[in-house]
């Protein structure tokens, strides 16, 4: 397909665009460059009516970097780098419910994520995105400079501690299987404001799922600043919302957006496949 036929339609002012006219299994280098450009510009891009199998999805992810094997969530048999995110009918959703950036508790957090929708509820199960660049830009210059040289501790423990999330995930009794290891409690430090290596844009890089505390502040100060930031970053002005259809693909840049999986389709089933792409140490 020629890159001339690619159409990029922004979904909202701050984040998100739908891209039409591409088959992600068969992207020329030119078309791939356009998709990558749109990803950097819009933070999250969406494609309809794709026909990914696991190999095609992994191959697409690999064009951006190395697919990662999750240290806690078990991948699919024979394809450890792919997660099958299954939410059965009659259950509540738990994976990705709450604002976060994928794997910010890694020393080198994920560059991006590719999510493919297979079984989509007739209503509900949307994914929300929020631009942390827009959120950063909307802070006062004084707050930007205060946050500018702070660091924060991230860990998987709030999201993955068996005492908090329930042991059934670790006992193989839930659709997503977890594997217990040191990785659940390891702590890493990242800057509170990061600079995108490809665009130079600055963005807020703390999130309510994985950030534990801001270094060098009193606990009450860290708590107050994080709460202020979380409230600020969740402003609808910085968001878009993607309504899934079967065969849709979402690709997002974890270096500049938060996302949130809605838990509003209890009576319906949803099946997604996810691959994350290795990133660099945030600076
Ligand atoms: O299921 C979704 O909509 C998103 C879940 C999530 O957070 C992820 O795949 O990283
Ligand atoms: Fe996620």
pLDDT of 41-50, one tens digit each? 999 999 999 9
Is the beta carbon of 84 within 6 A of some atom in ligand 1? no
Which atom, in ligand 1's list, is nearest to the CA of 115?
Answer: 9
Question: Structural domain tally of the chain?
Answer: 1
Q: Does residue 283 lie in a domain region?
A: no
Ligand 1 pocket, residue 276 CB under 6 Å: no
Ligand 1 in reach of 127 Cβ (< 6 A): yes
Q: What pTM does this model have? A: 0.97
Residue 232's domain comprises: 3-277
Measured CA to CA, the distance from residue 132 to residue 253 in angstroms comes to 11
Atom number in ligand 1 closest to CA 102? 10
> What's the CA gap between 197 and 73, in Å, rounded?
28
Q: CA 224 to CA 228: how far, in whole Å? A: 6
- Of 2-6, 110-114, 230-234, 253-257, the range with the lowest mean pLDDT is 2-6
* 277 pLDDT tier (thresholds 50, 70, 90): very high
Does any domain span residue 214? yes
Minimum CA distance residue for ligand 1 atom 8: 96
Q: Pick the atom of ligand 1 nearest to 87's CA.
A: 1
Torsions phi, psi for 71 (to 5 deg): -75, -15
pLDDT on residue 2: 59
pLDDT > 60? residue 1: no
Tell me if 190 is assigned to some domain: yes
Is residue 196 annotated as part of the catalytic site, yes or no? no
Q: Which of 112, 272, 273, 279 to mutate to test the pocket of ligand 1 (most atoms within 8 A of CB)?
A: 272
Per-residue pLDDT at 4 exceeds 70: no
Express as a percent the part of the chain with pLDDT over 90. Answer: 91
Mutation test residue for ligand 1: of 85, 98, 265, the one with most atoms within 8 Å of CB:
85
Q: Is residue 141 part of a domain?
A: yes
pLDDT at 164 > cutoff 90: no
Q: Is there a domain that residue 282 lies in?
A: no
Nearest protein Cα to ligand 1, atom 5: 96
Q: DSSP readout, 113-151?
A: EEEEEEE--SS---EEEEEHHHHHHTS-HHHHHHHHT-E
Residue 226, number of CB atoms within 10 A of its CB: 20
The average pLDDT across 161-182 equals: 87
pLDDT confidence tier of residue 5, bands split at 50, 70 and 90: confident
- What six digits make up the tokens of 190? 């990242």
Q: How far is CA 276 from CA 31, 50, 68, 194, 255, in A?
A: 21, 18, 6, 19, 12
> Does 77 participate in catalysis according to the annotation?
no
Q: Is 175 inside a domain boundary? A: yes
Q: Where are the alpha helices (DSSP H) in the chain?
A: 29-42, 54-62, 132-137, 141-148, 157-160, 162-165, 219-233
Ligand that comes closest to the CA of residue 113: 1
Does 89 score more than 80 pLDDT? Answer: yes
Residue 176 pLDDT greater than 80, yes or no: yes
Tell which phi-psi region holds residue 112, choosing left (phi > 0), alpha (psi between -120 and 50) or beta: beta
Active site residue 161: no
Whether residue 259 lies in the annotated active site: yes
Is residue 237 in a domain? yes
Give the CATH number of the domain where residue 77 resides: 3.60.130.10
Residue 130 lies in a domain: yes
């Amino acid at each position: 397909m020629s890159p001339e036929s690619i159409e990029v339609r922004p979904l909202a002012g701050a984040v998100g665009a739908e891209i039409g006219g591409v088959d992600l299994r068969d992207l020329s280098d030119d078309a791939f460059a356009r998709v990558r450009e749109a990803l950097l510009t819009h933070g999250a891009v969406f494609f309809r009516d794709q026909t990914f199998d696991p190999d095609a999805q992994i191959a697409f992810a690999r064009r951006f970097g190395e697919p990662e094997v999750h240290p806690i969530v078990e991948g699919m048999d024979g394809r450890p780098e792919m997660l099958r995110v299954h939410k059965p009918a009659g259950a509540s959703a738990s994976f990705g419910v709450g604002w976060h950036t994928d794997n910010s508790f890694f020393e080198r957090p994920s560059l991006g994520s590719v999510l493919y929708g297979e079984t989509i509820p007739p209503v509900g199960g949307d994914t929300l995105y929020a631009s942390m660049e827009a959120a950063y830009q909307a802070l006062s210059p004084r707050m930007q400079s205060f946050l500018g040289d702070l660091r924060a501790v991230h860990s998987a423990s709030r999201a993955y501690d068996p005492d908090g999330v329930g042991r059934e995930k670790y006992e193989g009794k839930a659709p997503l299987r977890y594997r217990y290891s040191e990785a659940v409690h390891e702590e890493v430090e990242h800057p509170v404001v990061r600079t995108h290596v490809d665009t130079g844009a600055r963005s807020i890089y703390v999130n309510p799922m994985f950030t534990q505390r801001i270094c060098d502040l009193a606990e009450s100060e860290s708590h107050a600043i994080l709460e202020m930031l979380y409230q600020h970053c969740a402003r609808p002005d910085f968001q878009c919302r993607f309504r899934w259809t079967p065969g849709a693909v979402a690709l997002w840049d974890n270096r500049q957006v938060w996302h949130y999986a809605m838990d509003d389709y209890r009576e319906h089933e949803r099946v997604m496949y996810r691959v994350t792409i290795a990133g660099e140490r945030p600076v």
